């Protein structure tokens, strides 16, 4: 169990709803759910969620901390915003899902091998490095996410697409070397560092 | 009736002139209808047309008028002449609008119109212009039984309108249940917090109003008479009775809470820390804004579980079968008592369906904002102990769970305090349709001296009979209106609205009675039933079947019509086997002569005749509306409106069949639990009577298919004509009746 997780368990004891309200983005909305199930019915991935949003909200209220935070469910959200548009109680469900995923990740409880989580991590690391996404590095990173041989296989599969993009000037193979940083990437690093400091202080994540 | 002078007027407007040979109709009225004055007019409902008729009434002495124009439901103001008997031959909606405008159809269309003119003339010869009910009373004082929030509101509203009010309350103080509340569910914007009950204010208003006389510790020990002339004994608990004359009565006797001791599995009666909603109100009043303490050990309550639908909506038949409507909002309100004094108290509401009518949705949201937790689940058990355990199944997570609480509040339902069930057989243990929830009561509220029983009839679950959409305040005892939770479960705000409506209805009833007029639904009707004493066999069918308990029996066991209680449906007239009951303008003869006046073609003419007896409340308007939509039906049908299917005397069916009709269709309203009948029981009684008509038909060697009774709603615009056409098809199949002479 991570340090932060221990701290949070200690701090909130059994009141998981309060913990969510204090630490999860838009978490203060969870209590307003009236269990109509429109979100779950509207979700294009609805049938594939282990616990659809409505159920997650109920689990939070029932104090099922481990089950919620270790769940793969909120990582299923594709930000289509159907649920937000339809929720009769106007809950920002998409944002809550991302908030929950983020919180679970910060606590180190999020499922390690969840593909969404891994891609999100890859993307974040890629973008903060140069202040801009290096698409070539990102896609190659994605291909090799599940090991070397898988990466080679996927790379070969995508070869015709890549060649086509290269021919039309959509892909620069030297991007692999140059990195394509933006101007003042160092300043961006500073800004992100400061932002993280503020967030940690505000949410009590700082050690 | 020596000096009957019939005037028949045929209109040529609205296309009648083009489609029909009105000259022939005039001849029919004159020769067959025996009309002394006959006229046709281009536009009868115009000023000129109406004044022509008026002139004949004044100068020519016409006292019986036949208007052959549109439906009796149209142009009622233009053709509303006082002190004459009026009959309307429906040529527009009844003939030209439902027949095709073709050359081939011309002959049967004309025959149809001529028959309606004959029928109009025949009807009017048997009619009298209705005179006002002679034995009406003029009292306009209003008696209100029950001094809860409903009764208090009714009293204030009626007094404000200028009427004298007597308010009878059985306990020593006004206010009822609402006076026992800490606060009540909000009734205005922003619907966010519980509000003051307002009972002290109402009490002061009543005290200050000279028109309201309050009887505390009193009950009604006898009610007799009729609207405008009730005589009521008000008995004090300490002894002593005063007799008062009353115009109309409001029954606001309220409810009792379902006994929590009947729910031992939910801890009812097993622990002092399991209370019902009234119990919590008591605790909250004791705390008065400070933290609420629990009954067993006086400990400050830190966690509370509300169990919704405790002993309600029970499908097993063991407890109440219905939802009491207010309890979800009440639990929300009570959870707020805790949250408002200390937000850290855990408040959990376990519900199966959260029902927050009106603006309760805002109230619900407000509770969620305040941190009340709502769990969809069913509670199976409450285990008593120092810390109560509530075992429930979470219906969202499909999970068995246990909640711990210092206090458990059971949301038990409302049981109507409606007096004795007059329809239950003596010694029957349960109120009809209520299940084992509540025993039949033995204490009467009104102690009516009516032949049909001491209290108002019930509909189901022990609540007073009233049609909750069409005529919510009406009961089956004229001049007596019920309001508040005795009528249906409701909260204080709904009861206040209900009480206001009932006050207006009571005023209306007293005013109508003083003018000798009928109340809903034939309000304003001046006719009233009379009977020929010499012919009466004292069979008591009229006294038993009257849906409104209007008929008592006198010392010689003859029926005693209390005209002011009568709604003029004619069910007594339909019931009478010796046909001695009649109204001035509606009798066995007015309809009997109509159906016999129809020109009956012989058996080989291929022109059958179908008699349609249609209820004037729903079926006849449905046919009228079908006509407006130009939906056609068989030209062989002859439609006669009846006040209610209950007024149909089987002699009419007999007469129709023996005089050669090939089919008879009876159209009435829906009967049973979800009745649509404006006279509540009329159509049901009619259907029972008609279920025995098969034997009559067989006795006459006629096919049973020739008589059909059906339920028609006012919206059955397509279906009503279809029913007539189906009968025409049936007749084509089985052939014409051999009874034509």
A128 and A146 belong to one structural domain: yes
For residues A32-62, one letter each, b for 16 or more C-beta atoms within 10 angstroms of the residue's C-beta and e for the rest, the string is ebbbeebbbebbeebeebebbbbbbbbbbbb
Average pLDDT over every residue of B589-612: 93
A123 and A52 belong to one structural domain: no
A21 and A89 belong to one structural domain: yes
Predicted confidence at residue A119, as pLDDT, reads: 93
In-domain check, residue A90:
yes
B430 pLDDT more than 70 = no
A140 and A91 belong to one structural domain: no
Q: Determine the length of chain A.
A: 207
| In the block, residue with structure tokens 């109507």 | B416
List C-alpha distances in Å: B655 to A71, B112, B660: 81, 20, 9
In-domain check, residue A5:
no
Q: Which residue on chain B is closest to A15 by alpha carbon?
A: B346
Predicted confidence at residue B75, as pLDDT, reads: 94
Contact A58 B368 (CB under 8 A): no
The strand pairing partners of A109, in sequence order, are none
Residues A94, A78: Cα–Cα separation, whole Å: 8
Predicted confidence at residue B432, as pLDDT, reads: 43
pLDDT in tens, B81-92: 988 999 999 999
Contact B396 A89 (CB under 8 A): no
- What CATH topology corresponds to B142-256+416-514? FAD/NAD(P)-binding domain (3.50.50)
Predicted confidence at residue B586, as pLDDT, reads: 95
Q: What SS3 string covers B295-340?
A: CCCCCECCEEEEECCCCCCCCCCCCCCCCCCCHHHHHHHHHHHHHH
A75 and A122 belong to one structural domain: no
In-domain check, residue A45:
yes
A72 and A120 belong to one structural domain: no
Query: Residue B674, Cβ neighbours under 10 Å: how many?
Result: 10
A32 and A64 belong to one structural domain: yes
Compute the mean pLDDT over every residue in chain B, rounded to the nearest whole number.
93
Query: How far is residue B187 CA from its own chain's centroid?
Result: 28
- Which of A31, A58, A89 is facing B397, going by the closest CB pair? A58
B1 pLDDT more than 80 = no
- Name, in order, each residue with C-beta under 8 angstroms of B61's C-beta and a sequence gap of 6 or more: B3, B5
| In the block, residue with structure tokens 């509770």 | B367
Do B509 and B410 form a contact (C-beta atoms < 8 A)?
no
In-domain check, residue A93:
yes
The CATH number given to whatever domain includes residue A98 is 1.10.1060.10
In-domain check, residue A6:
no
- What CATH topology corresponds to B259-412? FAD/NAD(P)-binding domain (3.50.50)
Which residue would you say has higher pLDDT here, B592 or A170? B592
Residues B18, B22: Cα–Cα separation, whole Å: 9
In-domain check, residue A77:
yes
As to burial, measured by CB atoms within 10 angstroms (0-12 exposed, 13-18 middle, 19+ buried), residue A168 is exposed
Residue B375 distance to chain A (closest CA, Å): 8
A31 and A76 belong to one structural domain: yes
Crossing angle for the helix pair B22-31 and B106-125, nearest 10 degrees? 30
Contact B399 A54 (CB under 8 A): no
Q: What percent of chain B has pLDDT over 90?
A: 88
| Every domain of chain B and the residues it spans | 1-129, 142-256+416-514, 259-412, 600-741
Average pLDDT over every residue of B10-23: 95
pLDDT in tens, B337-348: 999 999 999 999
CB of A61 less than 8 A from some CB of B: yes
- Which of A32, A34, A62 is facing B397, going by the closest CB pair? A62
pLDDT in tens, B100-150: 999 999 999 999 999 999 999 999 999 999 888 888 899 999 999 999 999
**Boundary of a domain, candidates A93, A111, A129:** A111
pLDDT in tens, A114-132: 999 999 999 999 999 888 8
Rounded (10°) CA dihedral A25, A28, A30, A33: -130
- Name, in order, each residue with C-beta under 8 angstroms of B447's C-beta and a sequence gap of 6 or more: B220, B221, B222, B223, B233, B454
A12: phi then psi, degrees, rounded to nearest 5? -105, -5
CB of A26 less than 8 A from some CB of B: no
Average pLDDT over every residue of B485-489: 94
Of the candidates B308, B253, B306, B257, the one whose C-alpha atom is nearest the C-alpha of residue B278 is B257
A138 and A102 belong to one structural domain: no
pLDDT in tens, B568-580: 999 999 999 999 9
The strand pairing partners of B7, in sequence order, are B37, B65
Contacts of B376 in chain A (CB under 8 A): 35, 58
Question: Across chain B, which distance is largest between two alpha carbons, in Å?
Answer: 96
Task: Please calculate the CA angle B652-B656-B659 and round it to the nearest 5 degrees.
Answer: 135
CA atoms A74, A79, A80, A85: torsion sign: positive
pLDDT band (50, 70, 90) for residue A2: confident
B11: phi then psi, degrees, rounded to nearest 5? -90, 145
Query: Residue B593, Cβ neighbours under 10 Å: how many?
Result: 20
Predicted confidence at residue B549, as pLDDT, reads: 93
pLDDT band (50, 70, 90) for residue A13: confident
CATH architecture of B600-741: 3-Layer(aba) Sandwich (3.40)
In-domain check, residue A203:
no
pLDDT in tens, B621-645: 999 999 999 999 999 999 999 999 9
- Does the bond joining B694 to the residue before it have cis omega, within 30 degrees of 0? no
For residues A151-166, one letter each, b for 16 or more C-beta atoms within 10 angstroms of the residue's C-beta and e for the rest, the string is beebeeeeeeeeeeee
Six token digits for residue B177: 């249940």
In-domain check, residue A206:
no
Contacts of B390 in chain A (CB under 8 A): none
CATH architecture of B1-129: 3-Layer(aba) Sandwich (3.40)
Contact B396 A58 (CB under 8 A): yes
The strand pairing partners of B626, in sequence order, are none
- Could you tell me whether strands B274-276 and B407-410 are parallel, antiparallel, or unpaired per DSSP bridges? parallel
Average pLDDT over every residue of B450-458: 93
Predicted confidence at residue B727, as pLDDT, reads: 96
Of the candidates B96, B94, B92, B129, the one whose C-alpha atom is nearest the C-alpha of residue B6 is B129
Predicted confidence at residue B403, as pLDDT, reads: 94
Predicted confidence at residue B520, as pLDDT, reads: 87
A191 pLDDT more than 60 = yes
Residues B488, B465: Cα–Cα separation, whole Å: 9
The strand pairing partners of B394, in sequence order, are B377, B399
B428 pLDDT more than 50 = no
pLDDT band (50, 70, 90) for residue A146: confident
Number of domains composing chain A? 2
CB of B402 less than 8 A from some CB of A: no
Average pLDDT over every residue of B651-680: 93
Q: Which one of A29, A33, A35 makes the best mutation probe of the B interface by having the most chain B beta carbons within 10 Å?
A: A35
Do B513 and B227 form a contact (C-beta atoms < 8 A)?
yes
Within this chain, domains B142-256+416-514 and B259-412 share the same CATH topology: yes
Predicted confidence at residue B429, as pLDDT, reads: 45
pLDDT in tens, B18-73: 999 999 999 999 999 999 999 999 999 999 999 999 999 999 999 999 999 999 99
A78 and A38 belong to one structural domain: yes
As to burial, measured by CB atoms within 10 angstroms (0-12 exposed, 13-18 middle, 19+ buried), residue B261 is exposed
DSSP state of B486: G
Do B591 and B607 form a contact (C-beta atoms < 8 A)?
no
Do B67 and B79 form a contact (C-beta atoms < 8 A)?
yes
Predicted confidence at residue B435, as pLDDT, reads: 47
B741 pLDDT more than 80 = no
pLDDT band (50, 70, 90) for residue A179: low
B160 pLDDT more than 60 = yes
Predicted confidence at residue B193, as pLDDT, reads: 96
B399 pLDDT more than 70 = yes
DSSP one-letter string for B206-270: HHH-TTEEEETTEEEEEEES-TT-EEEEEEETTS-EEEEEESEEEE---EEEPPGGG-GGGTTTT
**Boundary of a domain, candidates A66, A81, A111:** A111
Do B501 and B483 form a contact (C-beta atoms < 8 A)?
yes
Predicted confidence at residue B136, as pLDDT, reads: 87
Contacts of A53 in chain B (CB under 8 A): none
Do B85 and B124 form a contact (C-beta atoms < 8 A)?
yes
A125 and A40 belong to one structural domain: no
Which residue would you say has higher pLDDT here, A186 or B426? A186
B436 pLDDT more than 60 = no
A70 and A138 belong to one structural domain: no
Q: Is B498 left (phi over 0), alpha (psi -120 to 50) or beta?
A: alpha
For chain A, positions 95-134, list CB contacts with chain B under 8 A.
none
DSSP state of A180: -
- Could you tell me whether strands B407-410 and B551-553 are parallel, antiparallel, or unpaired per DSSP bridges? unpaired
Predicted confidence at residue A91, as pLDDT, reads: 96
**Boundary of a domain, candidates A95, A111, A127:** A111
pLDDT in tens, A60-101: 999 999 999 999 999 999 999 999 999 999 999 999 999 999
- Name, in order, each residue with C-beta under 8 angstroms of B440's C-beta and a sequence gap of 6 or more: B420, B421, B424, B428, B429, B430, B431
Which residue range forms the structural domain that includes residue A59? 13-111
Contacts of A41 in chain B (CB under 8 A): none
Contact B374 A34 (CB under 8 A): yes
Query: How far is residue A77 CA from its own chain's centroid?
Result: 9
List C-alpha distances in Å: B286 to A46, B295, B613: 50, 11, 65
A135 pLDDT more than 90 = no
Average pLDDT over every residue of B667-695: 91
Q: Which residue on chain B is closest to A59 by alpha carbon?
A: B397
Predicted confidence at residue A1, as pLDDT, reads: 64
A49 pLDDT more than 90 = yes
Task: Report the SS3 class of residue A38.
Answer: helix
CB of A72 less than 8 A from some CB of B: no
Residues A195, A206: Cα–Cα separation, whole Å: 13
Contacts of A58 in chain B (CB under 8 A): 375-376, 394, 396-397
DSSP one-letter string for B135-194: T------EEEE--SHHHHHHHHHHHHTT--EEEE-SSSSS-HHHHT-SSB---STT--S-
pLDDT band (50, 70, 90) for residue A190: very high
- Which of A17, A32, A54 is facing B396, going by the closest CB pair? A54
Q: Which one of A21, A58, A71 makes the best mutation probe of the B interface by having the most chain B beta carbons within 10 Å?
A: A58
Six token digits for residue B438: 């509540």
For residues A82-110, one letter each, b for 16 or more C-beta atoms within 10 angstroms of the residue's C-beta and e for the rest, the string is bbbeebebebbbbbbbbbbbbbbbbbebb
């Amino acid at each position: 169990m991570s340090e932060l997780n221990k701290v949070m368990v200690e701090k909130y004891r059994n009141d998981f709803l309060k913990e969510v309200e204090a630490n999860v983005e838009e978490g203060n909305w969870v209590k307003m759910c009236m269990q109509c199930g429109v979100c779950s019915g509207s979700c294009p991935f609805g049938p594939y969620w282990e616990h659809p949003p409505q159920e997650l909200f109920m689990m939070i209220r029932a104090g099922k901390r481990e089950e919620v935070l270790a769940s793969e469910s909120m990582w299923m959200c594709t930000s289509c915003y159907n649920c937000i548009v339809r929720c009769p109680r106007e809950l920002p469900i998409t944002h809550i899902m991302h908030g929950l995923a983020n919180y679970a990740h910060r606590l180190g409880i999020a499922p390690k091998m969840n593909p969404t989580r891994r891609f999100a991590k890859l993307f974040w690391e890629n973008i903060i490095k140069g202040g801009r996404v290096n698409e070539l590095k990102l896609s190659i990173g994605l291909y090799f996410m599940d090991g070397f041989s898988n990466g080679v296989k996927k790379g070969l599969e995508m070869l015709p697409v890549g060649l086509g993009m290269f021919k039309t000037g959509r892909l620069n193979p030297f991007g692999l070397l140059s990195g394509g940083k933006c101007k003042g990437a160092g300043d961006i690093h500073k800004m992100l560092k400061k932002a993280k400091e503020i967030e940690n202080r505000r949410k009590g994540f700082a050690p | 009736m020596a000096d009957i002078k019939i005037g028949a007027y045929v209109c040529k407007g609205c296309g009648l002139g083009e489609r029909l040979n009105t000259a022939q109709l005039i001849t029919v009225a004159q020769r067959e209808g025996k009309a002394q004055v006959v006229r046709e007019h281009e536009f009868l409902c115009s000023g000129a047309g109406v004044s022509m008729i008026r002139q004949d009434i004044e100068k020519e002495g016409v006292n019986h008028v036949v208007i052959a124009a549109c439906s009796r439901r149209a142009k009622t103001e233009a053709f509303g002449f006082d002190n004459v008997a009026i009959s309307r031959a429906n040529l527009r909606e009844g003939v030209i609008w439902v027949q095709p405008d073709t050359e081939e159809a011309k002959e049967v269309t004309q025959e149809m119109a001529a028959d309606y003119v004959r029928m109009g003339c025949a009807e009017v010869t048997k009619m009298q212009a209705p005179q006002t009910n002679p034995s009406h009373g003029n009292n306009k004082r209003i008696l209100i039984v029950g001094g809860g929030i409903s009764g208090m509101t009714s009293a204030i509203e009626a007094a404000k309108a200028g009427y004298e009010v007597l308010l009878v309350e059985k306990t020593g103080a006004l206010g009822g249940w609402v006076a026992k509340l800490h606060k009540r569910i909000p009734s205005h914007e922003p619907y966010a917090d519980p509000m003051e009950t307002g009972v002290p204010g109402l009490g002061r208003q009543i005290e200050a109003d000279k028109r309201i006389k309050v009887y505390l510790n009193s009950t009604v020990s006898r009610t007799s008479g009729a609207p405008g002339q009730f005589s009521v004994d008000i008995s004090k608990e300490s002894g002593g009775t005063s007799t008062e004359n009353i115009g109309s009565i409001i029954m606001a006797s309220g409810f009792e809470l379902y006994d929590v001791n009947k729910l031992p599995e939910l801890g009812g009666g097993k622990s002092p820390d399991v209370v019902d909603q009234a119990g919590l109100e008591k605790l909250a009043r004791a705390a008065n804004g400070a933290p609420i303490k629990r009954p067993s050990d006086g400990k400050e309550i830190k966690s509370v579980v509300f169990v919704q639908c405790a002993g309600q909506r029970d499908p097993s038949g063991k407890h109440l079968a219905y939802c009491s409507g207010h309890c979800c909002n009440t639990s929300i309100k009570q959870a707020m008592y805790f949250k408002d004094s200390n937000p850290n108290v855990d408040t959990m509401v376990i519900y199966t369906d959260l029902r927050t009518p009106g603006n309760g949705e805002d109230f619900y949201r407000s509770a969620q904002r305040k941190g009340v937790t709502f769990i969809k689940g069913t509670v199976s058990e409450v285990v008593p102990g120092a810390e109560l355990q509530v075992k429930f199944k979470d219906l969202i997570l499909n999970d068995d769970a246990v909640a711990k609480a210092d206090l458990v509040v059971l949301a038990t339902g409302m049981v109507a305090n409606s007096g004795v069930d007059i329809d239950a057989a003596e010694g029957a243990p349960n109120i009809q349709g209520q299940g084992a929830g509540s025993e039949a009561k033995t204490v009467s509220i009104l102690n009516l001296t009516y032949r049909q029983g001491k209290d108002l009839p019930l509909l189901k679950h022990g609540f007073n009979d009233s049609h909750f959409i069409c005529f919510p305040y009406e009961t089956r005892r004229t001049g007596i209106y019920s309001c508040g939770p005795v009528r249906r479960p409701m909260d204080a705000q709904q009861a206040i609205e209900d009480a206001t409506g009932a006050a207006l209805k009571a005023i209306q009833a007293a005013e109508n009675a003083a003018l000798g007029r009928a109340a809903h639904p034939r309000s304003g009707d001046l006719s009233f039933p009379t009977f020929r004493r010499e012919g009466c066999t004292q069979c008591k069918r009229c006294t038993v079947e009257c849906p409104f308990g209007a008929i008592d029996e006198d010392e010689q066991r003859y029926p005693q019509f209390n005209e002011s209680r009568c709604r003029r449906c004619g069910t007594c007239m339909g019931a009478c086997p010796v046909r001695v009951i009649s109204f001035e303008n509606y009798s066995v003869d007015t309809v009997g002569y109509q159906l016999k006046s129809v020109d009956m073609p012989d058996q080989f003419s291929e022109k059958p005749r179908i008699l349609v007896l249609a209820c004037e409340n729903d079926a006849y308007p449905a046919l009228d509306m079908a006509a407006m939509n130009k939906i056609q039906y068989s030209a062989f049908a002859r439609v006669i409106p009846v006040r209610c299917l209950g007024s149909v005397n089987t002699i009419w069916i007999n007469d129709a069949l023996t005089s050669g009709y090939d089919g008879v269709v009876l159209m009435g309203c829906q009967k049973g639990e979800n009745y649509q009948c404006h006279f509540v029981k009329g159509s049901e009684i009619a259907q029972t009577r008609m279920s025995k008509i098969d034997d009559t038909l067989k006795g006459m060697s006629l096919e049973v298919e020739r008589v059909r009774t059906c339920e028609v709603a006012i919206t059955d615009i397509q279906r009503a004509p279809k029913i007539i056409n189906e009968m025409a098809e049936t007749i084509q199949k089985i052939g014409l009746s051999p009874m034509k002479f």
